[in-house]
Amino acid sequence: MLDIKLVRSNPELVKENIRKKFQDEKLVLVDEVIALDAKYREGNQRLEFLRSRRNALSKQIGGMMARKEFDQANETKREVSAMGEEMAALEAQGAELEAEIRKRMLVIPNIIDPSVPIGKDDSENVEIERFGEPFVPDFEIPYHVDIMERLSGIDLDSARKTSGNGFYYLMGDIARLHSAVLSYARDFMIDRGFTYCIPPFMIRSAVVDGVMSFSEMENMMYKIEGEDLYLIGTSEHSMIGRFQNTFLEESQVPQRLTSYSPCFRKEVGAHGIEERGVYRIHQFEKQEMIAVCRPEESDAIYDELWKNTVDFFRSLDIPVRTLGCCSGDLADLKVKSLDVEAWSPRQKKYFEVGSCSNLGDAQARRLGIRIRNKEKGNYFAHTLNNTVVAPPRMLIAFLENNLNADGTVRIPEVLRPYMGGKAQIG
């Protein structure tokens, strides 16, 4: 959410940013916010005048009564009473205007970073850098589910019976590999100085409103019937929510946290859930990283976060590339975002395995996350998040890049301690 002062003082900047995101239907919101804000401030000024006047008159009434000026005292009381009624009406109007302003401000997109490429959708995202050499073996690589099934590692048919499409049973060595990757990711991030956390897997609507846009929520999150609770789509939601309505001392930032959680997603608009694949699914597990920091630190921490993911995948011998998300592909709260994509030897192309985002102070404004500074005044923090790894999607890249010609799967050295010392499975 933007600072209302920015909208008030530089509406053309806000409108130009909306145009860069190809959301021209939102241009009218800027003018509506300015008009509503002017009315709100006018009402507030009148309210402050009446409050001051009422206090002054209330003090005078006591003197009038002491001097036995009863008629004048009663007249003043009536004036004070009338003021009270007008003040109550102004307070109600102010609350209504505040709600209308906030409703519009929540859907006006954040100001994007100058480095963000301008484009309408993800087809116009820009490759930044490649890490590792993409390799295609001289033998055919089966579909990822076929690899898992040959290793007795997945049961989609039973999952469809119990839960429907978009669910799975992982079995045996594949299930162990799944857990090993998450355990390795946990230790990898702890070794890089991040504090490990297991957060709540459900959050209240106030936190949902703070961390994401309404359209994202509708397309992603499952609501718990009859309760003010949602299943998290990613642990970033509850991790950032942990700081709501808090003041952090400057000595306490930056906060670097890494979290494990299951994730639950509707995947609305995802062009259908594959019946046999595990690329888009309703339930998965993930190791995440988040940071809460000073505004001047956020660019450097953004680079630190995405490099962690690149280094993690390279430690598992998986080639990756980074892709700068264009303006039209950015969620409204994001200042900038970068996707990490892994190489698929079977498809001979890269596919997304993680996303790193800098949200500026948008989430902090919504949730009231401030940093205390006695000299310069308190200010809103910046928040960032990035995927470390999200199996089973990551398992697609892992299996394809570590598959041997005989159908066995090589286990990279760093992962072997988590697999009971095994050098391969199959």
Cα(424)–Cα(130) distance, integer angstroms: 27
Helix (H, G, I), strand (E, B) or coil at 114: coil
Residues contacting 173, CB < 8 A, separation 6+:
151, 153, 422, 425, 426
For 426, how many CA atoms within 13 A lie in the half-sphere containing its CB?
A: 14
In the structure encoding, which two tokens stand for residue 96, read together?
A: 């209504």
Closest CA to 258 of 285, 239, 283, 232: 239
Residues involved in catalysis:
265, 280, 352, 355, 393
SS3 286: strand
Q: How many whole angstroms separate alpha carbon 328 and alpha carbon 155?
A: 38
Q: Are strands 379-380 and 382-389 parallel, antiparallel or unpaired?
A: unpaired
The backbone torsions φ and ψ at residue 273, rounded to the nearest 5 degrees and listed phi first, read -90, 130
- In whole angstroms, what is the distance from residue 403 CA to residue 181 CA? 16
SS3 163: coil
All residues at 6 or more sequence positions from 332 whose CB lies less than 8 Å from its CB, including other chains? 21, 107, 108, 109, 110, 213
Which pair of tokens denotes residue 6? Answer: 């920015």
Count of positions (residues) in the chain: 426
